A and B are shown apart, each in its own frame.
Chain A
């Protein structure tokens, strides 16, 4: 029953190669940001540890669960369209979009609480990184949702098929990247100290 288990290790990257150039570029940007955070922390350990405690880790936790699940739904959507089930693909994508929306709402609530406490980019080095990283990622979620919305619409409109599913894979790959980056971000900014 596991058709995908047949391992064929010679395929190209899923989706349009152009998105992969973009994904790799984005990963490099985030990688540099993560490294900058880590090295900035190494000269201000006390400040980072103290400031990190003021974050509500539960938000980060919930958002990780949401984004991981959303990413899973997109993976299922890709499998559905490969099996030729366009509506199922659309449903999975719509569910993934809904979770993306939940992520944004939760993050906005968290941002609102931060701003209510008077936290800004200029408060201290930790909050600068915290806000810059999460805001930058937030924008990526918005971007990813815009892409997924187009793909979802096309999936429902029957524009994809078992033979032609590059669009789903392209949008999906970007969304998984957004998920991957958040997984590292969550551990780095919310947890590791």
Chain B
């Protein structure tokens, strides 16, 4: 019988398909890279914003919270917390941790200085202005 389905052909499709779709993905990523700075207002990333971001990362905030829906689902969304709570509440809240309420989920106290709290708030404010295609659906995140 004629060989109608050869392994060599299947392998070529695998290799060709992989290269093909990788090329398309790279082309799209190139375009995305050009778009991101205008969508997230990269020009507004001040040094305070960058310091705040470093604090958020080096304290593993996304180990409990989400940022734009990415992270853990143990604590509320942070990307829109600036709009939900405002800067004063956020700083007071962080300083008041842990609440120690029995049985309630606890957030550690990170012993931030006032400057660090300002940096964090600057970063959270920057986060809240990213164009995320109208996500989250409402202010509760």
Which residues from chain A sit less than 8 Å from chain B, CB to CB? Answer: 12-13, 16-19, 21-22, 120-122, 135-136, 139, 143, 146-147, 166, 170
Indicate if B136 sits at the interface (CB-CB under 8 A): no
In the assembled complex, 20 residue pairs joining A and B whose CB atoms fall closer than 8 Å, in A order, are: A13-B4, A16-B5, A16-B6, A16-B9, A17-B5, A18-B6, A18-B9, A18-B10, A18-B13, A21-B13, A22-B13, A120-B31, A121-B28, A122-B35, A135-B24, A139-B20, A139-B23, A139-B24, A143-B16, A147-B16
Which residues from chain B sit less than 8 Å from chain A, CB to CB? Answer: 2-6, 9-10, 13, 16-17, 20, 23-24, 27-28, 31, 35
Provide the bound-state CA to CA distance between A21 and B16, in Å: 14
Known pairs A18-B10, A19-B13; A166 contacts B31 (CB<8 A) = no
Which residues of B lie under 8 Å from residue A120 when comparing CB positions?
31
List the 9 closest A-B pairs by CB distance, nearest first: A17-B5, A18-B9, A16-B9, A18-B10, A17-B4, A22-B13, A18-B5, A143-B20, A12-B4
Chain B interface mostly helix, strand, loop or mixed? Answer: helix
Provide the bound-state CA to CA distance between A153 and B6, in Å: 20
Known pairs A12-B4, A139-B20, A139-B24; A19 contacts B31 (CB<8 A) = no
Which residues of A lie under 8 Å from residue B20 when comparing CB positions?
139, 143
Which residues of B lie under 8 Å from residue A146 when comparing CB positions?
16
Provide the bound-state CA to CA distance between A101 and B31, in Å: 25
